[in-house]
């Protein structure tokens, strides 16, 4: 694996995020990454998943399930992407994630130069599934707030109503077992 050192770029030097995903692509990719999240539970990891889709809005470049409380699916994926693709290329890619990225994951996606993030359900809805469980002390800092305070404009899409309940069901089932 080689390390790609990003060139110095100003936010004004970056192109637009490129081809926008269609609604059908958004729903399909969110369902795909939801399978990645469910796969993470088979390794006793929390049910979060992320995929990185290329500029064509079809090609899945990376899949990543949650690892642990510090290595969230989105952050691990963004770090892997940052060492394997150029910042310019990543600016036209889309990161899909089951649940709205926490402030750590939103920041990591931003620093990796991923230009678009799509999430299925909000962090607020996640809190409804997890309650105050010690394994998931959610933060009340939305990814929108994080991205609104960045120098580059990351395109943020979500929540996506077509898949929100499907994602919530996976979360409820997982966290119910953790409470029992």
The span from the CA of 127 to the CA of 71, in Å, is 19
**Residues 121, 125: Cα–Cα separation, whole Å:** 7
pLDDT band at 134 (very low <50, low <70, confident <90, very high): low
The 3-class secondary structure across 34-63, one letter per residue, is HHHHHHHHCCCCCCCEEEEECCCCCCEEEE
- Residues 8-54: tens digit of each pLDDT: 444 455 457 788 999 999 999 999 998 999 999 899 898 999 999 99
Task: Kindly report the pTM of this predicted structure.
Answer: 0.85
* The token pair that represents 156 in the structure block: 């943020």
For residue 124, the model assigns a pLDDT of 78
Catalytic residue, chosen from 74, 124, 135, 173, is 74
- Let me know if 74 is a catalytic residue: yes
User: Can you list the pairs that 151-155 forms with residues at least 24 positions away whose Cβ atoms lie under 8 Å?
Assistant: 151/11, 152/11, 152/14, 152/110, 152/113, 152/115, 153/11, 154/106, 154/109, 154/110, 154/114, 154/115, 154/116, 154/117, 155/17, 155/20, 155/115, 155/116, 155/117
Percent of the chain at pLDDT above 90? 61
């Amino acid at each position: 694996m080689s390390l790609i050192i990003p060139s110095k770029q100003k936010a004004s030097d970056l192109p637009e995020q490129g081809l926008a995903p269609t609604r059908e692509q958004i729903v399909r990719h969110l369902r795909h990454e939801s399978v990645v999240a469910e796969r993470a539970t088979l390794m006793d990891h929390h049910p979060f998943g992320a995929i990185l889709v290329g500029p064509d809005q079809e090609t899945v470049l990376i899949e990543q399930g949650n690892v642990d409380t510090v290595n969230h699916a989105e952050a691990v994926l963004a770090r892997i992407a940052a060492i394997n693709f150029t910042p310019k290329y990543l600016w036209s890619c889309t990161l899909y994630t089951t649940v709205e990225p926490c402030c750590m994951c939103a920041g990591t996606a931003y620093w990796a130069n991923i230009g678009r993030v799509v999430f299925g359900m909000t962090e607020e809805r996640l809190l409804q599934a997890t309650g105050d469980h010690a394994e998931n002390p959610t933060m009340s800092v939305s990814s929108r707030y994080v991205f609104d305070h960045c120098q580059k404009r990351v395109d943020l899409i979500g929540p996506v109503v077509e898949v929100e309940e499907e994602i919530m069901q996976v979360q409820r089932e997982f966290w119910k077992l953790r409470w029992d």
